[in-house]
Structure 1
Amino acid sequence: MVVYFRNRQTFSHDFETVTLAYFNRYPNPYAKHVKSIDTIDRHIDSDGRLHQTKIICKAGSLPQWVKPFLGRINTSWIVEKTIVDPKEKTMTTYNCNLDHTKLLRVEECTKYHYDREKNTTEFDSTVRFSSGFRKFGNLNVKDRIEDWSKAKFAEHSKSSRMGLKLVMESVRQKMAESIQSQRLKQKL
């Protein structure tokens, strides 16, 4: 069994604010588990789309029943691939863990799309949880790991959205201050 989680939301921000906030979402008070972020590739293709790949190190606590499989390990490395199409005003992101994949592989694909009529940016995210464990008699570690991961992800996705919204408000405020500053300079 593979477990899925789906999340949809609308941000009352334009596409530029959402994408700028997404690329600058760390650090924020809701993401203290993020320990480091490194951009390993960034380029613009012939169609004008931005492609970026990052490696992210995250820390977290695991339930006691998982510790026999991982020991004292409490960090995980995530690859994040992002494609931004400024003409179509779309952004697609793909994240997955690079380690502990036999225990659990988490793959998240999110699509952001700007609605020009409503001046909002909508996102639709699908997360796939799959464990490499098999059933051992009546002991179903695989399903337990996948179900626990889905529940934790749903819980963390709320704080992740709150962190992104906080950064969006900061971006919006900084953009407004910059515009006001430019207008003042033009008057002088």
Structure 2
Amino acid sequence: MVKFYSHAFNYDYQWQNVTLAFWLRYPNPFASHVLAVDVLDRYVDENGILKTTRLVLKKGKAPKWFPENFLKNSEAFIIEESEVDPKNKTMITRTKNLNHVRVMQIEETQIFKQHEQNPDWTACKTEARIISRFGWGLTSRIEGFGQSTFIANAAKARKGMQHILQKIREKQASRAPFLHQI
């Protein structure tokens, strides 16, 4: 069995600020579980698409009911591949964990694009698949745990993005103090 998650959200910020916040989102107060982020590859292809591959190290916790001996290390490496199309104002990200995949694999896709009705907003669509191949009668329970944890972490990720976006807005406002005098 596979668990799914889908959520649509609108950021009250322009697309270029949301994509900037995506790159600057770590560290933030809502992401203490993120230990490290490294860029493995980055280039602009022949169509002007910025392609980036990053490796993210995160820590997590297994539920109390999970057998202790099966998960000795709570850290997970996540591969993140992204494509930024500045011409069409679209960014697509795909992430998945590289280790602990037999216990649980989470594959996430996010699409950020300029909102169709309001160009000052950014629409974000998040979809995820949570898959366990663990067996022992725990597969469904592991997937349910993964889904509920993913939902909670997605809400924290949005708060983290909002935190960074507010910092960007404050920085932009401080660079143009004369606008406040008009």
Instruction: Give deviations 1:107-126, integer Å, cap 9, x for gaps.
Output: 00011110264121001111
Aligned to 2:40: 40
Length, aligned pairs only: 178
From 116, 139, 142, the counterpart of 2:139: 142
Work out the CA distance in 1 between the residues paired with 2:131 and 2:146: 9
Most deviating of 151-160 and 91-100? 151-160
- Alpha-carbon RMSD across the aligned residues, in angstroms, is 1.5
Alignment of 1:24-173 (within 5 A): 24-68=24-68, 70-115=70-115, 117-118=117-118, 119-134=120-135, 136=136, 140-173=137-170
Aligned to 2:12: 12
Instruction: Give deviations 1:146-188, integer Å, cap 9, x for gaps.
Output: 011000111111111101100011112212223448x8xxxxx
If the length of structure 2 is used for normalisation, what is the TM-score? Answer: 0.92
For the pair shown, the structure with the greater C-alpha radius of gyration is 1
Instruction: Give deviations 1:53-108, integer Å, cap 9, x for gaps.
Output: 10000012211222435343110000011111000000000000000101111000
If the length of structure 1 is used for normalisation, what is the TM-score? Answer: 0.89
User: Percent identity of the aligned residues?
Assistant: 30
Work out the CA distance in 2 between the residues paired with 1:27 and 1:89: 25
Shift in alpha-carbon separation, 1:142–1:69, aligned structure 2, 3 A: farther
- Please state whether the residue corresponding to 1:66 is helix, strand or coil: coil
Unaligned segments of structure 1, at least 5 residues = 184-188
